[in-house]
């Protein structure tokens, strides 16, 4: 079995590319590492002997980490590997960093009735984490909704 190239590199936006697979035997392809099939697909995933153009499609990478997937092409009880890698989007210049805290509400010390609340989010992309971005907007909205409900509305101290 031979490939027209030994690996493919994608940027963070993903996309499609092709590789020619030539084999004297029927073959079937599978992703090797768990989870790779969630972002990488092959068409076709199997073929008879001869030359076949395989389309590799990769979804956008918003994970925060570069990723690599190995495709195992199995023919005649032998496996040949092909590597697909993808870079991560670069961080926005003005993103929130790990450990950075933004105070959205201060407890009132004058009345002694204020409460301190920590609001955190999960599942946000690097783009969402920009200052003034989706993450900050949703956290601010969450605090507003929380303090709009009784009895919490009576415990809100303003900055």
Phi, psi of 8 (to 5 degrees): -135, 140
Average pLDDT, the chain: 86
pLDDT attached to residue 54: 96
Q: For residue 25, what are its two tokens?
A: 């035997």
pLDDT tens-digit map of 3-41: 999 899 999 899 999 999 999 999 999 988 888 989 999
CATH superfamily ID and name for 2-86: Immunoglobulins (2.60.40.10)
Distance between CA atoms of residues 118 and 13, nearest Å = 33
What phi and psi, each to the nearest 5 degrees, are found at residue 92? -60, 150
Judged by DSSP in three states, 40 sits in strand
Nearest-angstrom CA–CA distance, 47 and 18: 15
Task: Give residue-wise pLDDT tens across range 104-125.
Answer: 777 666 666 667 778 887 888 7
Q: Where are the alpha helices (DSSP H) in 48-155?
A: 134-147
Query: pLDDT, tens digit, for every residue of 33-72?
Result: 888 989 999 999 999 999 999 999 999 988 878 999 999 9
Domain boundaries, the chain: 2-86, 91-159
Nearest to 53 by CA among 81, 19, 15: 19
CB 124 within 8 A of CB 117: no
Q: Does position 157 have pLDDT exceeding 50, yes or no?
A: yes
């Amino acid at each position: 079995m031979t490939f027209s190239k030994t690996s493919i590199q994608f940027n963070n936006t993903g996309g499609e590319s092709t590789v020619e697979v030539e084999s004297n035997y029927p073959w079937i392809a599978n992703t090797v590492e768990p989870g790779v099939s969630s972002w990488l697909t092959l068409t076709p995933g199997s073929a008879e002997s001869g030359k076949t153009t395989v389309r590799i499609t990769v979804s956008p990478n918003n994970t925060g980490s570069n990723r690599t997937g190995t495709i195992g092409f199995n023919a005649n009880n032998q496996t040949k590997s092909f590597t697909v890698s993808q870079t991560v989007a670069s961080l926005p210049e003005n993103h929130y960093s790990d450990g950075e805290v933004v105070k959205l509400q201060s407890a009132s010390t004058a009345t002694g009735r204020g409460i301190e609340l920590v609001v955190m989010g999960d599942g946000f992309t690097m783009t969402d984490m920009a200052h003034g971005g989706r993450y900050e907007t949703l956290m601010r909205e969450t605090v507003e909704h929380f303090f709009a409900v009784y009895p919490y509305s009576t415990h809100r101290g303003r900055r």
